[in-house]
Amino acid sequence: MVATGRPSATAAPTTTTPPKVSIAKRIGLGGGLLLALGALAVLAFFSIALGSRSITIGTVFDAFFDPSAISPDLTVIRDMRVPRTLLAIAVGAALALGGTLLQGVARNPLADPGVMGINAGAALAIVTAIMLIGVQSAGGYVWFAFIGAGISTVLVYGLAATGREGATPVKLALAGAAVTAVFSSVTSAVVLANVDALNEMRFWQVGALSGRFMPVFWQLAPFLIAGSALALFAGRPLNTLALGDDVARALGQPVALTRSILFAIIAVLCGAATAAAGPIAFLGLMVPHIARFICGPDYRWILPYSALLGPVLLLACDITGRVVTAPGELQVGVVIGIVGAPAFIALARFRRLVQL
């Protein structure tokens, strides 16, 4: 529905939420959530048990039930695979929730952190940190990535929010594209001139979960967890926003305020996730669509599904990357692109996705 600028009271529909879900369907959806949780648990176990180094199941249990045991196998499990798995779960949930919120608030089925300038902002902050301060480790540039992502989110929202009708979906998309373009070209300019920045960027750019250990997880866990928790409560406002600005306003929702709060949550989620694992493409785009495919248009269901399916997908891709090229590894960003694109196309063919 086109925003006419003249909210009309007669447009108010009779329901404020999507049609009531039947009891049977609710039980089905609830069961589905449990199923997803189970899948996540299984994958988390595989993520700890499988990898480019072969470790017996017995040793895996030792790592948890025999704290006194010490061996290289246990180092790999405790200090490399466990942090990596925790990070995958937190990042997967954050990206999926961030993507869901972004698609809902921007009412754009193609919105993901890449479109809204978030990745571009994080990348620019990282190269700036490398160039100006000489930061070289993942733990060091996490904060810069986070700040960069935050700044670009605020910038995109600020640009879109100027003008009378506020941050409309069209203006958000345009502002996102513009900010991405500017930040990307500045990043390119820096990287072309600075070999250190290029080398660090090259790796960060792909999106990877390896090489980031407990410190990185602890640095970002508060943001990832708090952001995810807040996002899970955004179902009702998102449902209302989905009806269009005019209707939402007519229903008494402060549209601009709601948008800015949701954007703040998005900035925290995507910023922290991108800082932790690099710009992982597709996840934030694809998972909301899968969730919507399963449970229909009600965001109160879409959000918890996204929160579980995001980590499921990210872990599955990460495990694949570790196993297929053993004894080497393939970065999760690469796997998710290879696996994700065809899956996404299939999904798009299967259903009309662009209904938001």
Q: Applying CB under 8 A, which of residues 252, 328, 342, 350 lies at the interface with other proteins? A: 328
Residue 302 interacts with other proteins (CB under 8 A): yes or no: no
The first and second tokens of residue 197, run together, are 């920045």
The single-letter code of the amino acid at 209 is L
Q: Applying CB under 8 A, which of residues 261, 294, 326, 338 lies at the interface with other proteins? A: 326
Q: Around 159, how many Cα atoms within 13 Å sit in the side-chain half-sphere? A: 19
Which residue lies nearer to other proteins by CB, 153 or 187? 187
Question: How crowded is residue 252: how many other Cβ atoms within 10 Å of its Cβ?
Answer: 9
Greatest alpha-carbon span in the chain: 71
Q: Is 163 helix (H, G, I), strand (E, B) or coil?
A: coil
Residue 162 interacts with other proteins (CB under 8 A): yes or no: no
Q: 218 to 277, contacts with other proteins by CB under 8 A?
A: 244
**Of 235, 293, 284, 352, nearest in space to 29 by CA:** 293
Phi/psi-derived region of residue 21, left when phi > 0, alpha when psi is between -120 and 50, beta in every other case: beta
Residue 46 interacts with other proteins (CB under 8 A): yes or no: no
Residue 136 interacts with other proteins (CB under 8 A): yes or no: yes
Q: Applying CB under 8 A, which of residues 36, 48, 49, 76 lies at the interface with other proteins? A: 76
Distance CA 356, CA 351 (A): 13
The first and second tokens of residue 98, run together, are 């961030």
Matching residue, tokens 């935050």: 150
Q: How far is the CB of 81 from other proteins (least distance, A)?
A: 8
Residue 281 interacts with other proteins (CB under 8 A): yes or no: yes
Residues forming contacts to other proteins in the complex (CB under 8 A) are: 1-3, 51-53, 72, 75-76, 79-81, 106-112, 114-115, 119-120, 123, 136-139, 168-170, 173-174, 176-177, 180, 183-184, 187-188, 191-192, 195, 198-199, 201-203, 205, 208, 210-211, 213, 244, 279, 281, 285, 322, 326-329, 331, 354-356
